[in-house]
Amino acid sequence: MSEGTYFSKAELMVAQAAREIADGERVFVGMRLPLIAFVVAKRTHAPSAVGLFELGIVRDEPSPELLYTMGDTPNVAGAVWCARTIDLMGLLQRGDIDAGFIGGAEIDRHGNLNTTAIGPDRMHPDVQLPGSGGGGDIASLARRLIVIMPHDRRRLREKVDFVTSPGYGNGRGWRERQGLARGGPSVLITTLGVFRFVDGEAVLASFHPGSSVERIRAETGWDLRVAADVRETEPPSAEALRVIREYDPHGFWTRREE
């Protein structure tokens, strides 16, 4: 790719998320950016990854057209398994699923996510959010969790108002004490940078082109930890951008904010 090729924040996030999927893995694929990340991974370095959709679909080839929801008819036609939600959730609870994607309205330094409600009283919220869907399950049960979120101080908070999807609770050992058998966030990809989780705590691993450690510190609601080898996030490859733009030609999901 030539220097200076334009890409959107969403395209960068998708390309980064795609790198988190290894070949042959079984991945719980959400909608929007994670779905497109799965498409990119499949068509680049992970041709035998398998995508599982919580409503009850397994695909070894991405749907041929852009999806607005996982239940769109093109996602069903050509699937290899169309089943029940509980069949897929059973695989997840068994530990058969390598990775899952989720997003959230709020996240804290330990990777706990809130998608339920903003405010101190869940039953009388300041802002009512949609809720868990399968997010709480994926966060609890997948072998590892990939989180994708917009980055600002009101979203990356010292403490979230409600833990919909458990991360590492208050730190190392918490998941085991709760009875969560495995998992936890491995990476948080935001609009500004990439965090890895070390001992149950988010550590900034890279800042996106155009962003910086200082900007991220200013936009993060907790005392930022920064990796010794922090560096700029690798830009999307030309191949990844080609796949993204082929799959989402009008930029419905990947060029929204531009």
Residues labelled catalytic: 54
* Number of neighbouring beta carbons within 10 Å of residue 93: 15
Give DSSP secondary structure letters for 191-231.
SSEEEEEETTEEEEEEE-TT--HHHHHHT-SS---EEEEEE
- Tokens linked to 233: 């996030």
Residue 219's identity, in one-letter code, is: E
| Residue 76 found at the interface with other proteins (CB under 8 A) | yes
| Residue 249 found at the interface with other proteins (CB under 8 A) | no
In the set 1, 22, 64, 90, which binds other proteins (CB under 8 A)? 90
Contact present, 59 and 82 (Cβ < 8 Å): no
In the set 1, 22, 64, 69, which binds other proteins (CB under 8 A)? 69
Per CB under 8 A, contacts with other proteins among 108-137 are 116-117, 122-137
Per CB under 8 A, contacts with other proteins among 137-166 are 137, 140-141, 162-166
| Residue 186 found at the interface with other proteins (CB under 8 A) | no
User: Smallest gap, in angstroms, from Cβ of residue 173 to other proteins?
Assistant: 12
Contact present, 75 and 57 (Cβ < 8 Å): yes
Contact present, 38 and 27 (Cβ < 8 Å): yes
User: Smallest gap, in angstroms, from Cβ of residue 198 to other proteins?
Assistant: 20
Q: Compute the distance between CA of residue 70 and CA of residue 64 in angstroms, rounded to an integer.
A: 13
Binding site for other proteins (CB under 8 A): 26, 31, 48, 50, 53-58, 60, 68-73, 76-87, 89-96, 116-117, 122-137, 140-141, 162-166, 169, 174-175, 177-181
